[in-house]
Structure 1
């Protein structure tokens, strides 16, 4: 299997037009863990002024997949995930921290905590997700 670096992860994210549109960044990557961050902007809010749930789901999906990539390699796809919205997300930055719970030869299961950083620097857990990632097209990395 090819060992991926933080720079590889950043290049992979930069190749995703939707991630570029959202301004997402990979801030940590390796050893079964990945962190994705994005600044909360007005155009990402829903009608009540909270970060849209779709943005939280995007961040969970990508963070889970990047974490799995640390164990499975780059030829992977999300096979499914669930998310629980715990509190409205309001702040200046979203931090999605994912970790591998189990990794086999072709599939990994990961958990992701989604926290919002407030203007005063405090963090609030806003959502939690769990998902599975599998190797693509029968690739074994």
Structure 2
């Protein structure tokens, strides 16, 4: 697996240009070889009927973080080809973080793991979900 020199400014522009990412207020906190961390502030508009972050928001965060992490080894022209997610506990807190790392990368495909963490006002971090995804180059 060969990591590229990631361009964090380009990556943040790509994220900002995604209408849904702008809607949920996603931001790219970490973008380095083999890793990306996507974060968003938790608010009522992202919750389901019990007050927990909606599973679709968790899946979105995992998908995007996985794709950005893979882009650090495959280049910017990538798309997720498949993803699974396991929810392990409800997401409550101030911030949701999707921390994705490349597990295996080749010339055309990367496999990534993503831990989804709810971060409380006190900084306590709780694992809420774990995802795995495959990303392919589009070129």
Query: TM-score when scaled to structure 1?
Result: 0.94
Aligned: 1:101 with 2:103: yes
For 1:2 and 1:28, the matched residues in 2 are separated by 15
Aligned residues: 137
Unaligned runs of at least 5 residues, structure 2? none
Give runs of aligned pairs for residues 34-45 of structure 1, distance below 5 A.
34-45=36-47
Alpha-carbon displacement from aligned partner over 1:61-85 (angstroms, at most 9, x marks no partner)? 0000000000000111000000000
Give runs of aligned pairs for residues 51-62 of structure 1, distance below 5 A.
51-62=53-64
For 1:122 and 1:11, the matched residues in 2 are separated by 30
CA shift, 1:121, in A, is 1.5
CA shift, 1:4, in A, is 3.1
The aligned counterpart of 2:134 is 132
**4+ runs of 1 displaced by more than 4 Å?**
none
Give the aligned CA root-mean-square deviation in angstroms: 1.2
Query: TM-score when scaled to structure 2?
Result: 0.96
